[in-house]
Amino acid sequence: MLLAANLLVAGPLMAGRDHDEIRRLRGAGQILSLETIIANHRARYPGGQLLEAGLESEHGRHVYTLKFLGDDGVVREFEYDARTGALWHSEHEDHKE
């Protein structure tokens, strides 16, 4: 299941970022892999469907953004520090879809 999710988000993750740059950052130990971030997230917040994932630079740091549709129907967005894996920010939509 995790492999399928990674294949689905590979496109959005690379949008706006050069694949070689991401590989360089990972090789230099500056960011964790998307797989690691998702696995850690699922250990903390089981369930839900991964809708979207991306890597951005915010306030001088690299941030992974994960968007999940929870089992309760609420869409939640989580931002993780790409270097440490620490949860940086989370929010949810006010309505169920």
Buried residues in 14-52 as b, exposed as e (16+ CB within 10 A)? eeeeeeeebeebeeeeebbebeebbeebbeeeeebebbe
Domain residue spans of the chain: 2-92
pLDDT attached to residue 1: 40
| pTM listed for this prediction | 0.75
Q: 4-38: per-residue pLDDT in tens?
A: 344 344 444 444 557 888 889 999 999 999 999 99
CATH number, domain 2-92: 3.10.450.40
- Stated length of the chain: 97
